[in-house]
Amino acid sequence: MSRSVRIYLVWVALAVLAGIIFLQRSREDGAYVPSSEQRRMFAFREAELGQIDLFYHGRLATLMRSPGGLWFLHDSSHSHSSIAAPGSAEPAAPGQPTAAAPPSPVGAPANGPGPTPATPPAQAHTEPDPAKAAKLAESVDFLARLIFDRRIQPTEPMKEYGLENPAALILFYGRSQNGKPAAAPLTSLYIGDTITNGFAYYAQVPGDRDITLIPLYQVDQLVQAAFGIDPHPNMNKGVPGERKN
């Protein structure tokens, strides 16, 4: 056998060995990478959502739509305006005299029964600032289009992935025909620890055995919109990570 043939056979053997090692590592890791369309986390889009609840380290933020369909953060910065009940006087402005009650209907007895207790003013949402609503809509749309990096089959207890008692939980509610959020969520998503290099979170949909690796920045941008904090300000975002060993 010539020297060139022996070298060729050695290279073939090395290539086969590398392929076997790669397949074995993939099986042990339990990971696979489907197409981008198959890697979509959710079937819904931003326009189909009416509310998002974000539980993050013991804090709750609720993003919901106004009657006009604009997104707003339902917290102390959001105000309600009073709407006078039909037949009642409008609330007087500070320093102004209260408006007189409307006259009795024609034919009503002058000495009739005492006045009916006033009906409390109804509450109406004040429409949010359009610029702020547009930014929130971008954050919601960005999260709704979430594409996971990989799915893995867990080989360790859930606490090793931060999913036994997850620090964050996101609930997605649909949008009913009257524009209000549905009573029950469409789905929810547990957010666990970051992977070793910190560029992705371990995440899991309740009832799903597999764990997904989702980009860090797609969750962090929602946390920033809801609470005004960036959980990982020094990270170079957008780089897929590797499985924790």
User: Is 35-75+127-227 CATH 3.30.1490?
Assistant: no
Long-range contacts of 23-30 (CB under 8 A, 24+ apart): 28/155, 29/152, 29/243, 30/152, 30/153, 30/154, 30/155
Residues 69, 70, 75, 77, CA torsion sign: negative
pLDDT score recorded for residue 123? 52
Q: What CA–CA distance (Å, rounded) separates 46 from 180?
A: 14
Q: Residues in the chain with pLDDT < 70?
A: 1, 3-6, 8-37, 75-125, 235-245
Domain ranges, ordered by start, for the chain: 35-75+127-227
pLDDT score recorded for residue 19? 57
Q: Which residues of 200-225 are buried (b: 16+ CB within 10 A; e: fewer)?
A: bbbbbeeeeeebbbbbbbbbbbbbeb
pLDDT score recorded for residue 77? 55
